[in-house]
Amino acid sequence: MGYISLDTRPSEDRSAAGPPSPMYQIPLSTRSSEDGIPFSHPHSPTYQLRPRLPSPSTLLLLLQCALYLSTFASVPPSVPPSQIPTPTPHGYAPIPEKIFIAAAFHQNEAVIPYWTRSIHDVILYLGTANVFVSIIENYSSDRSPHLLRAFARELDALGVKNRVLVQDHTVKRPQHLAWNPRIEFLAAIRNQALEPLVQLGGYDRVLFSNDIFVEPESVLELLATAGGAYDFACGLDFGHFGAYDMWVLRDRAGRLAAGIWPYFFDTASYEAVKHEEPVPVQTCWNGIVAFAADPLLPVHLRTNRTLSHAPLARLPPANHPWAARLGASSADTPPLRFRASVEGECYSSESFLLPYDFRRIMGLERVFVNPLVINGYVWKYYVWHKWVLRQRMVKWFVERVWDGAWMQYARMVVGDPKKVWVWDGIECHPW
């Protein structure tokens, strides 16, 4: 894979930030307290005072460590039932929409109970008649199939339309999961998860989730990004170091981003992150996304509310696999699919190429990262970024004192930073 390095440079871009999204405050879960700390019985270490008082910075560091230790656990807590009293077909959303929920899992027994409870609460809010749940699980040797079968039974009991395929080997796993064969495999699985949507239509947006820990409120915040005025909206996924999927994320000018707060270099994006507002970007995925369904639907199933009937203002590169298939307008162009890179493109993941194709093939440019939609793949890192770093005093220190330090101009590069190259206006990792 290469190595991660830091390359510093300032930015000249001063374009305007995207519009903010409304905050949801919905009593969906009892998993966190008012301050966001998800455990009721912390065990803090005991410290011995020295003859002289420690410095303020030392005290702050000790406070941060204590907060982390008080919220840390090796496994997620047990999940209580939803607080929404009665499931209804039409739900509680002020503006009802039809949402197609898709996900794929492999060896995820640690994540699935938390994820299914969050999605359960989201479904109750959106309305049991307003969602379809499509899940693919394959090649797992842990309890993932059992857990997903139980979730399918729960969906059936709620009257939620669903297709939950477990231990499904329709998509054959290649012998060597590396480079493009791996991406082609993952793209095929994601396309399989979208099959009921492509066959039937009838949904306004797709909510596609990775195997993540996420709160139901965060999912609803994602769906409400920019007041709903978006084509493609993404969360922010985190690992041990910081933002996780930097292979996909590009800023509004197509440049590589940073893995640490505040992630972007230009002033407008920098300020948007500080104010927890949606940030316009070229591409993103980062754990969980919501996007318009029309670009993935056959022409006859589209709503005609999303895609333009005018010719594309800027044609894609000649080697783009859809270049020869473009219709007279985006509304007449065949549906997009998850895919792998072709020769001459950035070597990219299927999750990078879908928002890229939204822009270049369908002319849909309202692509945002929503910094409020925090998610993670490992519980302890999720706790750290979701709750510890967002605790009031720690958050104040990060944003007002530390302020990114010198690393606010550091981009994360996979490979030699001197070999970063540009393709179709987007910086590419050199690998």
pLDDT band at 393 (very low <50, low <70, confident <90, very high): confident
Position 431 pLDDT exceeds 90: no
Give percent of the chain above pLDDT 70. Answer: 78
**192-225 pLDDT per residue, tens:** 999 999 999 999 999 999 999 999 999 999 999 9
Mean pLDDT of the chain: 84
Position 1 pLDDT exceeds 80: no
Single out the residue of 19, 23, 24 nearest to residue 279, CA to CA. 19
Single out the residue of 292, 270, 272, 269 nearest to residue 282, CA to CA. 269
Tell me the sheet residues that pair with 162. 133
| Backbone CA torsion sign across 296, 302, 303, 305 | positive
Q: At what angle do helices 112-126 and 216-223 cross, to 10 degrees?
A: 50
Encoded tokens for 290? 């919501």
Which phi and psi angles does 350 have, rounded to 5°?
-60, -30
Residue 71's alpha-carbon distances to 8, 43, 330, in angstroms, are 34, 9, 48
Region 47-61 average pLDDT: 51
pLDDT band at 357 (very low <50, low <70, confident <90, very high): very high
Strands (E) across 138-221 are located at 161-165, 205-209
Region 354-368 average pLDDT: 97
pLDDT band at 76 (very low <50, low <70, confident <90, very high): low
CATH number (3.90.550, 3.30.420, 1.10.490, 3.40.50) of 11-24+79-381+422-428 reads 3.90.550
Region 222-236 average pLDDT: 98
Exposure b/e, 253-270, CB count within 10 A at least 16 = b: bbbbbbbbbbbbbbebbb
Local structure of residue 89 (DSSP, 8 states): S
**234-292 pLDDT per residue, tens:** 999 999 888 998 889 999 999 999 988 889 989 999 899 989 999 999 999 999 999 99
Query: How is the chain split into domains, by residue range?
Result: 11-24+79-381+422-428
Contact status, residue 141 vs residue 107, Cβ threshold 8 Å: yes
Please tell me the distance from the alpha carbon of residue 44 to that of residue 430, in angstroms, as a whole number: 44
Give percent of the chain above pLDDT 90. Answer: 63
Q: Which of 186-190, 292-296, 348-352, 414-418 has the lowest mean pLDDT?
A: 414-418
Please tell me the distance from the alpha carbon of residue 412 to that of residue 429, in angstroms, as a whole number: 9
Contact status, residue 157 vs residue 148, Cβ threshold 8 Å: no
Please tell me the distance from the alpha carbon of residue 185 to that of residue 175, in angstroms, as a whole number: 11
Indicate the SS3 state at residue 371.
Answer: strand
Position 22 pLDDT exceeds 80: no
**Burial class for 78, CB neighbours closer than 10 Å (0-12, 13-18, 19+):** exposed
Region 358-370 average pLDDT: 97
